[in-house]
Amino acid sequence: MTGLLRGRRRRLAWVAVTASIAAGGGWVHAESEAAASDECPRCAEWTVSQKPFRVYGNTYYVGTRELGAILITSDAGHVLIDGAVREATPQLIGNIRALGFKVEDIHLILNSHAHFDHAGGIAAIQRLSGAEVAAGPSSAKVLTQGRSGPDDPQFASLLRGPDPVAHVRVISDGEVLAVGKLRFTAHFTPGHTVGGTSGTWMSCELSRCVSSVYADSLSAVSAPAFRFTDNTTYPSVLADFARSFTILNSLPCDILLTPHPEASDALVRLRRRADGFDPSAFIDPGACRSYAERSRSGLEE
């Protein structure tokens, strides 16, 4: 009976999810014909479809062409990192199912940072899956309230926040989160936002295991009035960026993935592998260091 009730609740959650998406911005078809709206002018490009694919071992890309979302699987349940914009929720769910996995088997949802283009769909996927959502203190506050505060460099230009999540587990820097045999370590990497978080885990394929990193955005993007120097709403922003660059430089990093896939050349690497030019295209032990140095140069500019 318990299983029947749980299944019924999830079916009802799916109905609620689709109704919510329809009210908020329209259903996103496979062709990703989501129209731009005043509060999401880039939704048309952010929801361009991307066929899901295996990155390595039990790590899969299930996001859109422009917005990353990563599924890490196990027999005991799965971990999802990021949820794109809410308009892309049906596409992410379809991608997960196309790979042969059940959304209902997602036990943990994590978030790189709580802007609506990476956290907008988390609430809907949480309702459907029943998964626990976990984030650091700052991001947890944004996720539950559905809006950023003035310490966010983009606060004055954000057109909306993420859809509010009913409950978020607050985690600490360096905390190891477990789902079955999966072990995911959270690394706070603030700067782009106060609550920026990166994560590391091991992915194994046959007899080889590699260190995988999902590194949060480290770009110095801000609203026009926000100053990275002498800032009063986020006074530690420069020190936070410096610390985050150091962390990325020091992490074991065989595979790098990022919230915006172009930042880690994910789709370029996919094409190289698919074309047969480089079977190990995703493995690049220098990728995290290069990413940190590009981000450091961007901040200096």
Q: What's the token pair of residue 67?
A: 């917005």
Rounded Cα gap, residues 183 and 224, in angstroms: 40
The answer to whether the predicted template modeling score (pTM) of the entire model surpasses 0.85 is: yes
When pLDDT is averaged across residues 140-166 and rounded to a whole number, the result is: 96
Task: Give the domain CATH number at 138.
Answer: 3.60.15.10
In a domain, 139, yes or no: yes
Please name the residue ranges forming H helices in 25-161.
Answer: 43-46, 89-98, 116-119, 122-129, 137-145
In a domain, 41, yes or no: no
What confidence tens digit (pLDDT) does each residue in 216-265 have? Answer: 999 999 999 999 998 999 999 999 999 999 999 999 999 999 999 999 99
In a domain, 127, yes or no: yes
In a domain, 105, yes or no: yes
Averaged pLDDT score across all residues of the chain: 90
- pLDDT over 70 for what percent of the chain? 88
Eight-class DSSP state of 104: G
Whether the per-residue pLDDT at 16 is higher than 60: the answer is no
In a domain, 93, yes or no: yes
pLDDT category at 23 given cuts 50, 70, 90 is very low
In a domain, 100, yes or no: yes
pLDDT category at 10 given cuts 50, 70, 90 is low
- Report the pLDDT value the prediction gives residue 33, as an integer from 0 to 100: 42
Q: H or E stretch including 270?
A: helix 266-274
Residues spanned by the domain of 98? 2-35+51-300
In a domain, 45, yes or no: no
Number of domains observed in the structure of the chain: 1
pLDDT category at 38 given cuts 50, 70, 90 is confident
